[in-house]
Amino acid sequence: MTASTLNTATTQPPTFRNYFNRQRILGIVFLLLAFGIWYIFAQGLGDIAESKEIDVSEVITTFKLPLSSQPGDLFNWELSSSPVLTVLAMAAAFLGGVQLWRGFGRYANWVLAIVIGLFIFAFLTWGAAGKSLNLGGLLSATLVRAVPITLGAMSGILSERAGIVNIAIEGMMLTGAMVGVFAGSIAKLWLPDSVFAGMLEEKGLLILGLCFGLVCAMLAGMLLSAVHAVLSIRYKINQIVSGTVINIFAVGFTSYLSARFLQKYQEYNNPGTFRPFELPILSDIPILGPIFFRHNIFVYSMFIIIIVLHIALYYTRWGLRLRSVGEHPKAADTLGINVIRTRWMAVLLSGAMAGFAGGYFTLGSVPRFDEGLTAGRGFIGLAAMIFGNWNPIGSFGASILFGFTDALQTKLAILKLPIPSEFLLMIPYIATMVILAGVVGKGQMPAADGQPYDKE
C-alpha cells in the first residue's frame, strides 16, 4: 500500500523528527509497555487479592500446558503472579533503557517482538491471576487463527513486492473458499465411483478430494488475480479501484452461487476437512509438540510458505528481479527484465496464495461455505503485511498478534477482564494505524507500489 504522502508537499517539523528518531521512539514505547505491565497489571493484582481476601503475594496464576498429545494430559504451571509481573516489567524496562541508550541496531525489530511478547505474557498472567488458563490451547488456537491472516499477508507481499497493490485478497479468499467447497464436494461425491476407489482406501479418497478442492480454490484465486492483472497492468487502471472491482464481484459472485446452489444442494456444500495429524517425533516434545505439531496441513504449509518465500525473495534471482520491479520498474526494464511479465507472475501467485488461504476456511476449518465467511481476514492480512514491513517473517509475527486477539476472544469469558473485550479486540487495528503513522518508524514499502508501468 502506498504509505507515502499523497501530498508530497506536506512538510513535517524536521527537528521533532530528527530528535525522535526510530531508536528513541522505540525505546520510549518499550518503557511505556514496561510501565503498563507494572502499573496496570502488577498493581491491578491488588484488586484481585482484595476480592479473594488474600495478600497480593499469595495470588497465583495457573497456566495449563499440554505435556503430550493426549488431550487430557495437562501440566499446571503455577506462577506467583506478583513477582512474575515485577520481573516482566523490569525486563521490558531494561530493554527499553538499552534501546534508548544505544539501540539494538538491526535487531530492533526482534527486540520489539520480544517486548510485545513480554507484555502479552504479563497480560495473561494478570488476566488469569487467581484462576487457571489453558495456555497451550490458547497458543495452539492462536496459530490456527493466524493461518488465513498469514497467508493473506503472503499473498499481499507477493504482489506488492512487485509493485501491484492488491486489496482484493479478501475477495480472492472468499472465492477460493467457495470454489474449494464446491470442487471438494464434487470430488467427494465422485471419487468413490471412480477408478481411484480401487487404488486408495476411504481416507485417501477423502484427502484426494480435499486436495482437488484446494487446487481449484487456488485456481479460482488465480483467475481473479488475472482479472486484477488485466485491469491494473494491461489497462493501467488504479490498482485500488481494480481491487475494489474484484471485491465487489467476489462478494456478489459467491453469495449468488451460494444462494442459488449451495443452500439448495447441501451435498455440494460438504467436502469434509483436512484432519490434524501429528508430525512424528516433533509432536512428542512436551509443551511445544502439542502446540505446534498437532495441526492440519494448513498450519504446516504456512510455515513452509513463510520460509520458502523469505528465502526466495532475498536469496534468489527470482526474488531480486521481483523486488526490482516493485522498487524501480524502469531500472529493471533497462536491464532487460520484463516488467510486465514479472508483475503478471507475481499477481497470479498472489491470487493462488489468496485462494489457498480461502481454502483454509472451508477445507481446513468448517466444511461448509456461508456468505461472507472470511469476515475481513483478507484486509487484516494486508494490515499484517504492512505491520510486518512487507517482509514474510515480520508479517508472520504481526499475524500471530492478530491471531492471538482472535483466539483470545473465545477465552475472554473465562478471564473476566475489567476491560470491555471489544476494546481489546480493537488493539490490532489501532496498532496497525499507529505503525502506518510511522510512530515506530516508517516501513520500507516498495517504492513503485501502486504505480502502473509505462514504458515511455
Partner 1 sequence: MTDNNKSSEPQPKPDSGQTLIDELNKTMDGGVWQNSLRSALYPILAVFTGLVIGGIFIALTTEEVYAAFRESIFAGLGESWRTIAVAYRALFVGAIGNPAEIAAAIGAADWVAFQDAIDPFLESLVTSTPLIFAGLGVALGFRTGLFNIGAEGQLFIGATTATWVGYTFTGLPAIIHIPLALLAGFIGGGLWGYIPGWLKAKTGGHEVINTIMMNFIAIRLVEWLLRTRMQDPESQNPISPFIADSAFLPSLPFSRFHIGFFIALIFAWLTWWYLFRTKWGFTLRTVGTNPNAARYAGMNIVRATVTAMFLSGGLAGLAGANEILGLNHRLVASFTSGIGFDSIALALLGKNHPVGVVLAAILFGTLRNGATQMQLDAGIPIDIISIVQALVLAFIAAPAIVRTIYRLRDTGDDGQLVTNSWG
Partner 2 sequence: MSEKPVLELKGITKRFPGVLANDHIDLTLGKGEVHALLGENGAGKSTLMNILYGLYQPTEGEIFVNGEKVQIDSPSDSIAAGIGMVHQHFMLIPVFTVTENVMLGEEEVSAGGFLKRREAAKKITELSNRFGLDVDPNALVGDLPVGVQQRVEIIKLLYRDANILIFDEPTAVLTPQEADSLFEIMQLLIDQGKSIIFITHKLREVLDYADRITVIRRGKVIGSTVPAEADPAKLAEMMVGRAVDLDVDRNPPQVGEVVLSVKDLLVVDDQEQAAVDHVSFELHAGEILGVAGIQGNGQTELVEAITGMGKVDGGTITLLGQPVQNKPPRFITELGSAHIPEDRQRDGVVADFPIVDNLALQSYYMEPFSKGVIMQEDVMRENATKLVEQFDVRTPTIDTSVGSLSGGNQQKVIVAREFTRDIKFLVAAQPTRGIDVGSIEYIHGQIVEKRDAGVAVLLVSTELDEVMQLSDRIAVMFDGRVTAMVDARQVTKEQVGLLMAGTTAEELFGKGETQND
Q: In 3D, which of 174, 137, 228 has the Cα closest to residue 360?
A: 174
Q: How many CB atoms lie within 10 A of CB 184?
A: 31
Residue 351: all three cell numbers together: 491470487
Longest alpha-carbon distance in the chain: 77
Closest distance of CB 7 from partner 1, Å: 4
Name the segment binding partner 2 (CB under 8 A); options: 128-136, 298-306, 310-318, 403-411: 310-318
Burial category of 190 from C-beta neighbours within 10 Å (exposed 0-12, middle 13-18, buried 19 and up) = middle
Under a CB-based contact definition with an 8 Å cutoff, are residues 434 and 428 in contact?
A: no
- The helix/strand/coil state of 26 is helix
User: Could you tell me how many residues of this chain bind partner 1 (CB under 8 A)?
Assistant: 64
444 near partner 2, rule: CB under 8 A: yes
Closest distance of CB 304 from partner 2, Å: 16
415 near partner 1, rule: CB under 8 A: no
Residue closer to partner 1 (CB basis): 41 or 390: 390
For the chain, how far is it from start to end, CA to CA, in angstroms? 24
Whole-angstrom distance, CA of residue 439 vs CA of residue 16: 12
Residue closer to partner 1 (CB basis): 17 or 275: 17
Residue 221: all three cell numbers together: 484465486
Name the segment binding partner 2 (CB under 8 A); options: 51-59, 105-113, 302-310, 332-340: 332-340
Whole-angstrom distance, CA of residue 352 vs CA of residue 220: 8
106 near partner 2, rule: CB under 8 A: no
Residue 207: HSE in the Cβ half-sphere, 13 Å Cα cutoff: 10
Under a CB-based contact definition with an 8 Å cutoff, are residues 146 and 297 in contact?
A: no
Give the one entry of partner 1, partner 2, none that residue 60 binds, where binding means its C-beta sits below a cut-off of 5 to 8 angstroms depending on kind.
none
268 near partner 1, rule: CB under 8 A: no
Q: Of all helices (H) and strands (E), which one includes residue 65?
A: strand 60-66
Give the one entry of partner 1, partner 2, none that residue 51 binds, where binding means its C-beta sits below a cut-off of 5 to 8 angstroms depending on kind.
none
- The helix/strand/coil state of 236 is coil
Q: Of all helices (H) and strands (E), which one includes residue 132?
A: strand 132-133
5 near partner 1, rule: CB under 8 A: yes
Among 35, 249, 300, 303, binds partner 1 (CB under 8 A): 249
Give all strands (DSSP E) within 148-210, no chain letters: none
187 near partner 1, rule: CB under 8 A: no
Residue 103: all three cell numbers together: 539501540
- In single-letter form, the type of residue at position 168 comes to A
Considering only residues 265-304, where is the footprint of partner 2 by CB under 8 A? none
Q: How many CB atoms lie within 10 A of CB 132?
A: 16
Closest distance of CB 73 from partner 1, Å: 37
Among 278, 333, 370, 371, binds partner 2 (CB under 8 A): 333
Whole-angstrom distance, CA of residue 413 vs CA of residue 401: 20
Considering only residues 194-233, where is the footprint of partner 1 by CB under 8 A? 227, 231
Name the segment binding partner 1 (CB under 8 A); options: 70-78, 200-208, 238-246, 338-346: 238-246
Name the segment binding partner 2 (CB under 8 A); options: 181-189, 296-304, 322-330, 366-374: 322-330
Under a CB-based contact definition with an 8 Å cutoff, are residues 296 and 131 in contact?
A: no
167 near partner 1, rule: CB under 8 A: yes
423 near partner 1, rule: CB under 8 A: yes
276 near partner 1, rule: CB under 8 A: no
Name the segment binding partner 1 (CB under 8 A); options: 83-91, 184-192, 237-245, 332-340: 237-245
Radius of gyration in angstroms for the set of CA atoms belonging to the chain, rounded to a whole number: 24
Strands 277-278 and 294-295: antiparallel
Name the segment binding partner 2 (CB under 8 A); options: 8-16, 80-88, 258-266, 280-288: 8-16
Among 145, 228, 310, 321, binds partner 2 (CB under 8 A): 321
Under a CB-based contact definition with an 8 Å cutoff, are residues 369 and 181 in contact?
A: yes
Among 69, 328, 337, 414, binds partner 1 (CB under 8 A): 328
Residue closer to partner 2 (CB basis): 331 or 426: 331
**DSSP secondary structure string, 406-448?**
HHHHHHHHHH--SS-HHHHHHHHHHHHHHHHTTTT------TT
Residue closer to partner 1 (CB basis): 141 or 448: 448
Chain-centre distance for alpha carbon 234 = 30
Whole-angstrom distance, CA of residue 125 vs CA of residue 417: 12
282 near partner 1, rule: CB under 8 A: no
Contact residues for partner 2, defined by CB under 8 A:
9, 11, 14, 315-318, 320-321, 323-324, 327-328, 330-337, 444, 447, 455-456
Contacts with partner 1 by CB under 8 A lie at: 1-10, 12, 165, 167, 227, 231, 235, 237-242, 244-249, 251-253, 255-257, 259-261, 328, 376, 379-380, 382-383, 386, 420, 422-423, 425-426, 429-430, 432-433, 436-439, 442, 444-445, 447, 450-452
